[in-house]
DNA sequence: AAGTCTCG
DNA sequence: AGAC
């Protein structure tokens, strides 16, 4: 068993990779600030703990979720929506840290989407085995703003498909610190995450954490 | 259907 | 990979 020096993304090359018009991967874009992001995540989940939401069909999602910012994405038997309060506590979601706002705006600008000011950050925690099946981010009122997705911890294979679920999906290995941005003509593309492989990350242990920034209104 | 199951 |  040969150790893979690139598995955790700590020494992988940085740069950009085009996925489709309006969609690209910024390799290692958040790597140098990952420890600060994790400290912020710890503070957020102390106030709004990770929980497994239910789909409208009543099935438990394998990725645990929480949110920060003025609005948070929630799912239950009633459907998907954004709301200002955490349904588990009845309190507002924790505020969006300044470092989150700056990272999201910087990554969006790097991808050609200037002036991105997210009002929601969904935080997904994947333990080994957790996944996210192909879906569209379509609960936002304003689809002109992009989606900015930050990967931390364990690697995962990102599926990036087309406007229809049946379109063939590209597979992209995402490492700690990678950021994916998609918007414009790619804003409604289907995407997902294959089951996360067993492993341990130096900073995050047996988990992958994904920050997904959206402008919902 | 942001999941689960079945078939190749 | 596809059906549901």
Task: Provide the token pair at A129.
Answer: 């085995």
Residue A4 clears pLDDT 70, i.e. is over it: no
Residue at A4 is within a domain? no
CATH of residue A41's domain is 2.60.120.590
Helix (H, G, I), strand (E, B) or coil at A193: strand
Residue at A147 is within a domain? yes
- Measured from the Cβ of residue A6, the count of other Cβ atoms closer than 10 Å reads 12
Residue at A137 is within a domain? yes
Residue at A9 is within a domain? no
Residue at A5 is within a domain? no
Number of domains in chain A: 1
Residues 114-143 of chain A with CB under 7 A from strand C are: none
Residue at A6 is within a domain? no
> Is there contact between A194 and strand B, defined as CB under 7 Å from any strand atom?
no
Question: What's the CA–C1' distance between A59 and B4, in Å?
Answer: 9
Q: List the nucleotides on chain C closer than 7 A to a protein CB.
A: 1-3
Residues of the domain holding A135: 17-214
Q: What is the pLDDT of residue A7?
A: 55
Residue at A71 is within a domain? yes
Nearest to A30 by CA among A10, A48, A54: A10
Q: What is the pLDDT of residue A2?
A: 40
Q: What residue spans of A66-144 are helical by DSSP H?
A: 98-110
Residue A39's pLDDT band, with cuts at 50, 70 and 90, is very high
Residue A3's pLDDT band, with cuts at 50, 70 and 90, is very low
Residue at A3 is within a domain? no
């Amino acid at each position: 068993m040969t150790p893979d020096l690139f598995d955790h993304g700590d020494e992988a090359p940085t740069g950009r990779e085009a996925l489709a018009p309006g969609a690209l991967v910024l390799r290692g874009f958040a790597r140098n600030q990952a420890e600060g992001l994790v400290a912020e995540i710890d503070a957020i989940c102390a106030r709004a703990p990770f929980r497994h939401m239910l789909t409208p069909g009543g099935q438990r999602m394998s990725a645990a979720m929480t949110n920060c910012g003025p609005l948070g994405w929630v799912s239950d038997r009633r459907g998907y929506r954004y709301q200002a309060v955490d349904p588990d506590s009845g309190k507002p979601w924790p505020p969006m840290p300044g470092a989150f706002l700056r990272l999201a705006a910087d990554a969006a600008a790097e991808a050609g989407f200037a002036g991105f000011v997210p009002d929601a950050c969904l935080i997904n925690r994947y333990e080994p085995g957790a996944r996210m099946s192909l879906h569209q981010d379509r609960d936002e009122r304003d689809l002109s703003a992009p989606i900015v997705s930050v990967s931390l911890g364990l690697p995962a294979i990102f599926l990036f498909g087309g406007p229809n679920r049946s379109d063939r999906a590209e597979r992209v290995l995402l490492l700690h610190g990678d950021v994916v941005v998609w918007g414009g003509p790619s804003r409604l593309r289907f995407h997902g995450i294959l089951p996360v492989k067993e492993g341990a990350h130096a900073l995050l242990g047996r988990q992958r954490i994904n920050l997904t920034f959206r402008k919902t209104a």
